[in-house]
Amino acid sequence: MAKTDPATVSVVHLGCARNLVDSEVILGRMAEEGLVISGDPDHAATVVLNTCSFIGPAREESENAIRDLLERKQKGQLAHVVVAGCLVQKVRRELAERFPEVDLFAEISDYRALAKSVATLSKGGSVPRYLEGLREPEREGARLISTPKSYAYLRISHGCDHQCSFCAIPSIRGKHRSKKLEDVVSEARELVQHGSKELILVAEDSTAWGRDIGLELPDLVAALAEVPRLARIRVMYAYPNRFPWELTKLMRERKNVARYLDIPVQHASTAMLRAMRRHGSGEQMRGILDRLREEVPGIVLRTTVLVGFPGETEADVDELVSLVEAQGFGRLGAFTYSPEQGTHGNDLPGRVPADVAQRRLERVLAARDRVLRASQSALVGQRIQILVDEWHAEAQTVVGRPEWDAPESDLIVVASGVKKAKVGEFMEVEVAKVDPEHNLLAIPAKKR
């Protein structure tokens, strides 16, 4: 039996920002039940693992984490292990059969029942071992924010209606369901009152927000832009098809709407886009990107691409590399294809050998790094404004981000010689050089 207070719990988070919101909701629900929250799993009697199941490596990471926690439980270092989230939702009760030593499994939900169950377990009571999820999106309610006060994630919808042949998200998260505008704005106000300066809009498909309730994403962004003291709004996970073009007007005209967009294109080749069941052709997708740059001067686009999909040729990869260079995609995530059971892509012929896919990935990343090195080097000697995410008083160092970098996904600015700073404030720095990871190193800008 663990030697800590039985009511002490900790959450181990795996996966994306959307999953992080779920983890924060879990923490909030458990705090409401009177449980003691610890940021260190080593000091908790119960650990809740919020799993990810997006691709094969994510599932492996989740399952290895389960094994590690169960080993700690066997040694008496933990009283209870709880497993929740995407992996549970994907394989459902199969996971409970494979890991009988886990005390509680919970599908994706509002997590009230999970928190009540953990509270009961902490008191020595018994609970049902499996909790099914809820399907309707609700106001998130109380969250224990785990990010710095400079930013927070704001989930605007749940699920996805697309049927991309490589993706299992619709089978895990369900159909797209928008959260009500007034609920999202209310949550935004609470996050700003908490101290968050930047809100990052996340969803499985953010540009689909509102279509099921007679609205469009620009309606929501315009409402959020009116929230007092909200310094920056950033849109992530914007599916390129049926793009709501009124959003570009807001980016141009509203100072607190970032001229930044995360828009996953997945590939450049029309043949690959069609095999992936993505809407439109490579030419149409390039047209969308060009129009975004034309309508929002100075916009920074981030994207995600997938290589090694069944049937991919070297010519397809050549086209993708050309796109990265032509569009200046320095902010880019690239992955090799991971077969997913239950998806259309899992049954396609023409599997690409793992070593070939890896070489192709390295080509794409090399193109990205060339673009990134050039664009970051061009900033040396310039004054830029950053939002402070970290302040290290003893080292007199701050870590921050300009408008064109999202937290965790993109790059950072490290400014040295800063005698006084505060997380969540904006400050001007002068870029001195670029480090080997393409981050900017800076010093405080002299007053003009």
pLDDT in tens, 275-334: 999 988 999 999 999 999 999 999 999 999 999 999 999 999 999 999 999 999 999 999
Q: pLDDT tens digits, residue range 409-439?
A: 999 999 999 999 999 999 999 999 999 999 9
Within 10 angstroms of residue 290's Cβ, the number of other Cβ atoms is: 12
* Region of 435 on the Ramachandran plot (φ > 0 left; ψ -120 to 50 alpha; else beta): beta
* Domains of the chain, each with CATH number or no CATH: 8-131 (3.40.50.12160), 151-375 (3.80.30.20), 383-444 (2.40.50.140)
| Residue partners of 217: CB distance under 8 A and separation at least 6 | 206, 207, 208, 209, 210, 235, 244, 247
Identify the sign of the CA torsion 168, 172, 177, 181. negative
Higher per-residue pLDDT: 106 or 291: 291
Q: pLDDT tens digits, residue range 362-378?
A: 999 999 999 999 999 99
- pLDDT of the residue at 52: 84
Q: Given a cut of 50, is residue 1 above it in pLDDT?
A: no
Higher per-residue pLDDT: 382 or 14: 382
- pLDDT of the residue at 169: 74
Distance of CA 397 to the CA centre of its chain: 26
Of the candidates 13, 69, 9, which has an alpha carbon nearest to the alpha carbon of residue 45? 9
Q: Given a cut of 90, is residue 265 above it in pLDDT?
A: yes
Identify the sign of the CA torsion 215, 153, 331, 351. negative
Identify the sign of the CA torsion 296, 302, 308, 309. negative
CA–CA gap between residue 274 and residue 102 (Å, rounded): 42
pLDDT band at 208 (very low <50, low <70, confident <90, very high): very high
Q: Given a cut of 50, is residue 2 above it in pLDDT?
A: no
The SS3 of residue 396 is: coil
Question: Can you list the positions of beta strands (E) in 38-108?
Answer: 46-51, 80-85, 104-106
With beta carbons less than 8 A apart as the criterion, state whether 64 and 31 touch. no
pLDDT band at 402 (very low <50, low <70, confident <90, very high): very high
Q: pLDDT tens digits, residue range 132-167?
A: 876 554 555 677 888 999 999 999 998 888 888 877
| Residue partners of 216: CB distance under 8 A and separation at least 6 | 209, 210, 244, 246
Of the listed ranges 20-29, 116-125, 184-193, 308-317, the least confidently predicted one is 20-29
- pLDDT of the residue at 137: 47
Q: Given a cut of 50, is residue 175 above it in pLDDT?
A: yes
Whole-model pTM?
A: 0.87
Outline where 229-388 has alpha helix (H).
246-253, 270-275, 282-295, 314-327, 354-377
With beta carbons less than 8 A apart as the criterion, state whether 62 and 52 touch. yes
What average pLDDT score do residues 381-393 get?
97
Structure tokens at 425: 């404030």
What average pLDDT score do residues 166-191 get?
87
Give 213's DSSP letter: G
* Angle CA 159–139–153, to nearest 5: 70
Of the candidates 219, 205, 201, 209, which has an alpha carbon nearest to the alpha carbon of residue 154? 201
Within 10 angstroms of residue 296's Cβ, the number of other Cβ atoms is: 20
Q: Given a cut of 80, is residue 340 above it in pLDDT?
A: no
- pLDDT of the residue at 254: 97
> Which residue type is seen at 388?
V
CA–CA gap between residue 40 and residue 47 (Å, rounded): 10
For the chain, the C-alpha Rg in angstroms (whole number) is 23
Give 150's DSSP letter: T
Of the listed ranges 9-18, 109-118, 337-346, the least confidently predicted one is 337-346
CA–CA gap between residue 414 and residue 435 (Å, rounded): 10
| Residue partners of 393: CB distance under 8 A and separation at least 6 | none
Q: Given a cut of 60, is residue 184 above it in pLDDT?
A: yes
> Which residue type is seen at 264?
P
CA distances from 218 to 225, 285, 292 (A): 10, 21, 15
Q: Given a cut of 70, is residue 112 above it in pLDDT?
A: yes
Of the listed ranges 30-34, 287-291, 389-393, the least confidently predicted one is 30-34
Q: Given a cut of 60, is residue 82 above it in pLDDT?
A: yes
CA–CA gap between residue 100 and residue 130 (Å, rounded): 11
- pLDDT of the residue at 138: 52
Of the candidates 157, 155, 161, 196, which has an alpha carbon nearest to the alpha carbon of residue 177? 157
Average pLDDT of the chain, as a whole number: 91
